Amino acid sequence: MSLRLQLNLIVTAMLGIFASVLIGLQIDNVRRSVHEEVLGANVVATQLLSRMQWVYGASGLEGMAGFLAQVGRIRANEVELRDGQDTLIYRSPPPVYKAGRSSPQWYNQLVASPLQPQEIGLPNGRIILRADPSRAILDGWDDLSPMLWMVLAGFVLGNALVYALVGQVLKPLHRVMQGLRRMAQGDYDTRMADLSGREGRLVSLAFNHMAQSVQDSIEAKREAKAATQALADNRELTQTIHGRIELERAAIARELHDELGQQVTAIKSVGLAIARRAAGSDATIEQSARLVMGCADQIYDSVHRLIAQLRPLALDRFGLHDALRDMLADCQLHHPGVLLNFEMPEPLDRLDDALATAVYRIVQEAMSNALRHAQARRIDVRVYAAGAALRMELVDDGVGRIGQWNAVGRYGVSGMRERTQALGGSFDLDQMEPAGVRVRVRLPLKFKPMGA
């Protein structure tokens, strides 16, 4: 049901109530008037006929009938004369006032005020006096009929006028509905011109503000979607770059291990042979040969450490658990005063290569920060699976602050965060009290497919 029809029905109901009250008051007024007139006429007629006993005494029932015939109809009353056997001798003639007409039966029932018939006793008969309000009711009906037609005409015209005025008043609302419909269809540039009236201007202003807000929100969502897509693309690119870098590191590590390692071993072997031949004959050559052997050992150790930094061979051969253990053992060797605790309840074999590499690199970078920058004396590393996620926690007791980790020129934290986000995980830094930093990483757990 439309708002226009609802308002029109409300006004119709109010007009109907007003008309009903007006007609009811008019009918009640007619009822009172009819009652007073009929009652007064009946009392007068009763008193008049009661004092006509001398007519009966002079000429009997015939004389009384002749007298009543001469009197004629008494207003608002019917008179009957009956003898002792209840035979009708005389009845008042029908009314000549508005003869042949009568009011509707329903109206008669509304305004009629019935009175009990009055009887005047005679020695051998009786006079019956009955109230007849029909003419008084007809007068009331004649007064009410024009009023009913006027009320009906006013009701119809009033409803038509209200319907037209409500339609005129609701025109701005139709414009608002059209604007909303256009916006629902995707036309967010919709704006409304100022409507007439103070309220109309407020409505148009509110609509335009709402439309602008919706448009801004849609644009913001589009930009956010584009930014999210760009971020996803960047993460995918970052993951690809990290994968390529790891492949190149692995290739370089293999080359260093296979080629340079063999050459260093050959140099050491040649130096050993020279030293043995020069032993006892030329001390200078023997000392030089042994110096070459010492340099070869240093080069071998340096290459070994470089290989571990480029690509831990244990990660490819034995898995994440052994690779982390080897890295921490190497750190312990170079930092004997630091207490290192490593906990990995499950070996988690067959982890996805990208996942295992990311965890290894994150632990490696976090260890480097704790040892080199925070001067930590205790480092706890824990790697474990929790449901569908792989979690890593590294806690140190160093003097480092989170603000220092994120300082300009330091890319370790950014690298750890990028590695984590590229795999769809979360990375958090927590400042520990009284000292220390906790690194928390959560990554989706993923394993290599069977047979890979």
> How does pLDDT run across 185-218, given as a tens digit for each residue?
877 777 777 777 776 777 778 878 888 888 888 8
Same domain, yes or no: 255 and 282? yes
Judge whether 151 and 23 are in contact, CB under 8 Å: yes
Distance CA 195, CA 176 (A): 10
Q: Could you tell me the residue range of the domain that residue 420 belongs to?
A: 317-452
Judge whether 325 and 348 are in contact, CB under 8 Å: no
Residues 6 or more apart whose CB falls under 8 angstroms from that of 234 comprise none
Does residue 409 surpass a pLDDT of 60?
no
Residue 181: inside a domain: no
Query: Whole-number mean pLDDT of the chain?
Result: 81
Mean pLDDT of 59-75: 76
Residue 179: inside a domain: no
Mean pLDDT of 390-416: 79
Which among 311, 342, 371 is the end of a domain? Answer: 311
Residue 176: inside a domain: no
Whole-number pLDDT of residue 7 = 78
**227-258: per-residue pLDDT in tens?**
877 767 776 776 677 667 766 766 776 676 66
Same domain, yes or no: 146 and 33? yes
Residue 182: inside a domain: no
Residue 252: inside a domain: yes
Residue 414: inside a domain: yes
Whole-number pLDDT of residue 354 = 85
Q: How many domains does the chain have?
A: 3
Distance CA 425, CA 155 (A): 75
Does residue 408 surpass a pLDDT of 70?
no
The CATH number of whichever domain residue 389 belongs to comes to 3.30.565.10
The residues with which 379 forms a beta bridge, in sequence order, are 340, 396
Same domain, yes or no: 205 and 91? no
Whole-number pLDDT of residue 79 = 83
Same domain, yes or no: 51 and 137? yes
Same domain, yes or no: 12 and 150? yes
Whole-number pLDDT of residue 52 = 67
Same domain, yes or no: 54 and 123? yes
Determine which of 2-6, 51-55, 74-78 has the lowest per-residue pLDDT on average.
51-55
Q: How many CB atoms lie within 10 A of CB 346?
A: 9
Does residue 183 surpass a pLDDT of 80?
no
**Length of the chain, in residues:** 452
Does residue 56 surpass a pLDDT of 70?
no
- Band (363; pLDDT cuts 50, 70, 90): very high
**6-46: per-residue pLDDT in tens?**
777 888 888 888 888 888 888 888 888 877 777 777 777 77
**Percentage, residues of the chain above pLDDT 90:** 11
Which among 106, 141, 169 is the end of a domain? Answer: 169
Distance CA 402, CA 430 (A): 7
Same domain, yes or no: 22 and 62? yes
Judge whether 444 and 354 are in contact, CB under 8 Å: no
Whole-number pLDDT of residue 442 = 95
Distance CA 402, CA 435 (A): 11
**DSSP at 335:** -
Residues 6 or more apart whose CB falls under 8 angstroms from that of 430 comprise 402, 437, 438, 440
**Percentage, residues of the chain above pLDDT 70:** 88
443 three-class SS = strand
Same domain, yes or no: 302 and 365? no
Same domain, yes or no: 447 and 419? yes
Does residue 158 surpass a pLDDT of 70?
yes
Distance CA 145, CA 222 (A): 72
Which among 169, 198, 219 is the end of a domain? Answer: 169
Same domain, yes or no: 165 and 301? no
Residue 51: inside a domain: yes
Whole-number pLDDT of residue 340 = 93
Whole-number pLDDT of residue 427 = 93
**265-317: per-residue pLDDT in tens?**
788 788 778 878 888 777 788 788 788 888 888 887 777 777 666 666 667 77
Does residue 105 surpass a pLDDT of 70?
yes
Residue 429: inside a domain: yes
Determine which of 185-194, 348-357, 435-444 has the lowest per-residue pLDDT on average.
185-194
Find how far residue 187's CA is from the centre of its chain.
22
**115-124: per-residue pLDDT in tens?**
788 887 777 8
Each as own residue / partner, the long-range contacts of residues 104-110 (CB below 8 Å, 24 or more positions apart, any chain) are 104/141, 107/27, 107/137, 107/140, 107/141, 107/144, 108/134, 108/137, 110/27, 110/31
Torsion angle, alpha carbons of 263, 277, 293, 304, to 10:
40
Same domain, yes or no: 130 and 237? no
Mean pLDDT of 73-82: 80
Please give the model's pTM, rounded to 2 decimal places: 0.46
Same domain, yes or no: 321 and 295? no
